[in-house]
Each structure stands twice: as structure tokens, then as C-alpha cells.
Chain A
Amino acid sequence: MTSEAVVHGVEWTVKELFVYPNEFIYWSIQIVMYPYMTGLVAGAFVLSSLYHVFGQKDLKEIAQFSLVFSLALLPVAALPLLLHLQQPLRAMEPLLTPHFTSAISAFGIVFTAYALIVISEIWFVYRRYFVDQVHELKGKEGFANMLRLNVYRALTMGSFDISEEALRVDHKAAKILAGVGIPVACFLHGYAGFIFGSVKANALWMSPLMPVIFIMSAVVSGIALCMLTYIVIMEWKAFRKRRTEGVTAAIEIKGAETDIINTATKYLLGFLVAAISLEILDLIFRGYTAMKSWDILRSVMYGKDFINIFVLQYTLGNLVPFVLLLLPGRTLKRTVVALLLVLFGVFMMRWNVVIGGQAFSLSFSGYMHYHIPIIPHSVETFKEGLFGALTVIVTPFVLFWMINKFVPSLERGEEAKY
């Protein structure tokens, strides 16, 4: 066997008992990352829409931030798929010859539509800022200013009208887009659940509840990530300001706003309850109906994957943060811990669905174990290993940092009027 003729999946799959020869863990860490990242996108967008559509005024600041953050997350929802494809150069084909009976074929279309909605909404929200920047930078010397001026010129798309009426129209358009965006975001993620739920060959995945469970946990993880990033960034800013300006500026050095966090927490808890209820319902139903596959499913869930499912996902990822957030006298630190646990819990849920669904053989008489490649020694073990996953996690923060250079989603006070 030449080095090129490596069979996909052999590197990280360990078989036990009776498994068909062609069965391997074909969908590995990147397919865990894919619904996780799309979930974060959808969740972040839903959080921002809570303000834009439903007028949750107390969410305003985190809403601006999460809108821009969902743009930063967007390319990263497609990145795991690209890293997973055996033929990444053909990634455009789902747009060229979409086979609509496949749940995956819609990805390109829904993803593009959703990206356009997010970008347009951001454009409407920040258009006035772009125009202001152009006026301000005009005539300034220096290469950096020239560059910025041209970027902002391009960003205005040639529309410099910032009259009262134009801005009112902008506001209305943003609101409509936010409204349209909610179902599209839910669809984008719900159908990620459908991709799994509709695979009739897989006893663990096949469930009509799968898309709904995915949406709920997506919103949970999205809100959690936005809150967390918001807290960290605001605290960091406050910390820096405190160091440079001293105590005198005490009024302006507020970090994360408590009431924003409180409101967001309420939504987080609501969606968390919905997500857990559905997952438990699914579990109970499988046990109660006890179809042919239940024997092997039970041995995987209560045996081989017990720690992953019941300890790490349900207890550490759901129950503990639930208690932490509900107990009175919540501090910012405790909130941060709870949010980290929530994010971890949703990640474990994705893991347990994707990897857990391949933990048993189609013969129902054998098991497969996944050993994630840690040290990459080939392109494949990088792409579908720990470092590939870390690349996917880090990218949105780098993107956000870059986008934030031009779109001030974290400004407050006077500038926050945009």
C-alpha cells in the first residue's frame, strides 16, 4: 500500500466485534465542528434579532455586537465542510448541479442567502457610519488614511444620502432583514439537524426531533458565545481604560453591563430548558419503543459513551451551568464559568450525535471507537484532527478582530447611535 492509498478513516477508527469491512468513522471532528459553528452563527443572529425585531432595548449593545460577530462566524460555518471534503476543489458543485433531494445540496444556497442577509443588515445599520468616515477621512494625508478612505467608499456602495428620511428607511430595512433572517438562520441550522435526522440507515440519528433539537441548542450556544465574548471584550476594555486613565474616569469605565447580561441570561435559560427537554424526550422515546436498534443504542449510551453523554454533556454541560445561572447572587465570574460550561455542553452534544452515531456498526453487532489524531503527520490527520478543529475555533475571532477595524460593533455612548 503506497502512502497515497490511505483509506479514509483507518487512522482514527478502532473496530470491536463484528463491523462491516467498509465501516469507518467517516464523519469525524470537522463534522462535529460544522453544526457547532453553524449553531453559533444562528444563535448569534437570533440574539441580535431579539433587539432589532422585538425591540428588546436592553439588548441593544450586545445585539450590535452579536450581529457583527455572526458575520465573523459565518465563513467558519463553511470551513469545516471544506476541510472535510475529499475533493475540496469541487466544493462549488452543490451550487452548479444542486440535487435537491439531498439535505446537503441546500447548504450553498441557504448559506449564501443568509450571508447576504447578514451583510445587508450590517450595511443598513452602519451605513451612516461609513458615510461619516468617508467625510472625515477625506483630505487626510497618509497611506493608511487613503486605504481606509477607499475601503469606506466601497462600503458605502456609492450611497451618500444620510438625510433623516434615508436613515429612517435604513432602520426599517434592517428591521425587516432581521425579521427575515430569523427563519433563515433557523432553517440554516435546522436543516443541519435534518442532514442527520433524515439518515434512515443510522439508528441514533434518525429522528424527526433532530432539527428542532439542533435549533434549540444552536440558539443556546450562540447566545452563550456572544455573552461570553461580550463580557471578555468589555472587561478587557474597562481594564485597559482603568490602567491608562486612572480612577478619575470612573463613570465611563463600566465593563459589561449587568442588566444586558441578566436579560440575555433569561433567554439563554429558556432555550436551554427547551433543548434539554427535547433531548430527554428523544431518549425516553427510544427506550420506550425499544426498536431493533435499541439494544446496541443502549449499550452505547449507557455503556461506552456514558461519560460523554451523561457526565460531560448532561451534567457538566447542562445541569451545572443551569444551577450556576439560577442561584441567587450571581457574579460576573460565575456567569463566565457557566457560559463556558454551556458552550462545552453543546459541543459535547454535537460530538455525541456525530461520533456517537458512528460508534456502533450497521450490523448492530459491533462497535467503532474514535481516536482523534492529535499530532498531524499528513494533510488528512491535520484536517480531521485536533489542530484542524482548533483552526476552525480560532478563525472567527481573528475575523471579528479584522471586521471590527472597520465596523465599530463595540463602541458605546456617543458613537453607539449607529
Chain B
Amino acid sequence: MKWHVLRPLWLAIGLVVVILIARQFMVPEDFGVHGDSFTYNFYRLSNVQEWKDFPVKHQGRESCVECHEENVTTLNASPHAPIECENCHGPSVGHPDDVELLPIERAREHCLRCHASLDYPNHARSELPNVRDRTHKRRRECVTCHYPHDPREKPE
């Protein structure tokens, strides 16, 4: 047997060694099977924490009530009570520190999301008070006549 035959093999082994050494440096330490199954639980463990640390944008009514107690009380007593403040006022992250004013959604289209009448049978929209966009006070903002925090009232 002539040993020169094995030279390509050394080349191959060298390549494998290079890859294995590269893995040492390039694969994060916490990469592995964290759980029962290689199929579904093979990952970098610290990524879970990274997702948990993803910034929360919508803070909820509890954070609004701290300053805007009056509005929240009105809202809570109205038919619009199930609607979150941030649905119309936008996510409150950074408010009021960075963002003095939250953008208030006054557009007609915003109200029409729930209150445009769709003439289909069998869906929940028809149970809400609704209007036809084409015939109901065209091109006027709904909030000029309806107070959003309590739609039974007129705005002041």
C-alpha cells in the first residue's frame, strides 16, 4: 500500500478539525437541546429571555387611570367600556415622559371599524349600533356629534 493515497484524507480530516474548532468559537455556549426533543427544543437558551425582555408598548387602562381618572371613570360607565384607551390613543409606551401627547385617533374610518353597517347575515357587527358610511353625515368626523368616552352623550 502506498501511503500517498491517504493525503486527500488528511486534507478532509484537516477540514473537519477546522470546522470543529470554528464551532468552539462561533456557537453560543447555551446552544443545545433544552427540553425533551431535539426536533423542537434545539436552540440558544438566552433567546427566550431576549424575547421576554422585548419592550411592552401597550400599558393598559391601569396605567392611564393614574392621571386620567375622570376620563376612565366616564368610559367605564359607558357602553364603550370594553374598548381599551390605547385602541384610540395609541400605545402609551414612553408616555408621558417622552411623548407629551399621544396621537388621538379621530378619523371617521376609525369609528367605522365597528359601526359601519355591513349587510351580511350571521355576524356580530349587525348587533352594534351602525350607520351607512355613504348616507350618514358624509365627510364629518363622528366625534363632532358623538362623545367617544360615552357615546350616549354629546361632546362638550
Direct A–B contact present (CB less than 8 angstroms): yes
Given the interface contacts A116-B15, A166-B2, A169-B2, does A96 sit within 8 Å of B23 by beta carbon? yes
Q: Which residues of A contact B120 (CB under 8 A)?
A: none
8 extra A-B contacts, CB within 8 A, seeds A116-B11, A173-B5: A95-B19, A96-B27, A97-B27, A99-B42, A124-B5, A157-B11, A159-B7, A161-B4
Tell me how far the C-beta of A397 lies from the nearest C-beta in chain B, rounded to whole angstroms.
26
* Chain A positions within 8 Å of B11 at CB level: 116, 120, 157
A169 B31 Cβ-Cβ under 8 A: no
* Distance, CA A92 to CA B23, complexed state (A): 10
CB–CB B31/A97 < 8 A: yes
Out of B1, B23, B38, name the residue touching A169 (CB < 8 Å).
B1
Q: For the complex, is A382 an interface residue (Cβ under 8 Å from B)?
A: no
CB-based A-B contact count at 8 angstroms:
48
CA distance A96 to B4 in the complex (A): 31
Q: Are B8 and A166 closer than 8 Å at their CB atoms?
A: no
A116, chain B: closest CB distance, angstroms: 5
Question: What residues of chain B have their CB less than 8 Å away from a CB belonging to chain A?
Answer: 1-2, 4-5, 7-9, 11-12, 15, 19, 22-23, 26-27, 31, 38-39, 42
- Provide the bound-state CA to CA distance between A169 and B4, in Å: 9
Q: B7, A116: Cβ atoms under 8 Å?
A: no
Contact with B along A82-102 (1 / 0, CB 8 A): 000000000010011101110
Q: Does A101 contact B39, Cβ atoms closer than 8 Å?
A: yes
Min Cβ gap B44→A in Å is: 8
- Smallest distance from the beta carbon of B43 to chain A beta carbons, Å? 9
The secondary structure that dominates the B interface is helix
Query: Most A CB atoms within 10 A — which of B5, B31, B39?
Result: B5
Contacts of A112 in B (CB 8 A): 15
A165 within 8 A of B: yes
The 6 closest A-B pairs by CB, nearest first: A120-B8, A159-B4, A169-B2, A101-B39, A157-B7, A166-B2
A-to-B contact residues, CB < 8 Å: 92, 95-97, 99-101, 112, 116, 119-120, 123-124, 157-159, 161, 165-166, 169-170, 173
**B146 vs chain A, min Cβ distance (A):** 31
Let me know if A101 and B38 touch, CB within 8 A. Answer: yes
Enumerate chain A residues within 8 angstroms of B22, measured Cβ to Cβ: 92, 96
Bound complex: CA A99 to CA B32 (Å): 10
Using Cβ atoms and an 8 Å threshold, which residues of chain B touch A100?
38
Smallest CB–CB gap between B131 and chain A, Å? 28
Q: How far is the CA of A119 from the CA of B9 in the complex (A)?
A: 11
The answer to whether B8 and A161 have CB atoms under 8 Å apart is no
Among A97, A99, A170, contact of B5 (Cβ-Cβ < 8 Å) = A170
In the bound assembly, the distance between CA atoms of A97 and B20 in angstroms comes to 11
CA distance A94 to B27 in the complex (A): 11
Q: Which residues of chain A have C-beta atoms less than 8 A from B23's C-beta?
A: 95-96
Which residue of chain A lies nearest to B3 when distances are taken between CB atoms in the complex? A159
Which of A95, A99, A101, A116 contacts B12 (CB under 8 A)?
Answer: A116
| Whole-angstrom CA separation of A120 from B7 in the bound complex | 9
Minimum C-beta distance from B23 to chain A (A)? 5
Verify B8–A116 contact, CB threshold 8 A. Answer: yes
Q: Which residues of chain B are near A101, meaning CB under 8 Å?
A: 38-39
The answer to whether B27 and A161 have CB atoms under 8 Å apart is: no
Q: Are B26 and A96 in contact (CB under 8 A)?
A: yes
Kindly name the residue among B8, B15, B19 whose own CB sees the greatest number of chain A CB atoms within 10 A.
B8
B39 shortest CB reach to chain A, Å? 5
CA distance A120 to B39 in the complex (A): 35
Q: Which residue of A lies closest to B4 (CB)?
A: A159
In the complex, which residue of chain A has the Cβ closest to the Cβ of B44? Answer: A97
Q: How many angstroms from the CA of A169 to the CA of B3 in the assembled complex?
A: 10
| 23 interchain pairs, CB-CB under 8 A | A92-B22, A92-B26, A96-B23, A96-B26, A96-B27, A99-B38, A101-B38, A116-B8, A116-B15, A120-B9, A123-B7, A123-B8, A124-B5, A124-B8, A157-B7, A157-B8, A165-B2, A166-B4, A169-B2, A169-B4, A169-B5, A170-B5, A173-B5
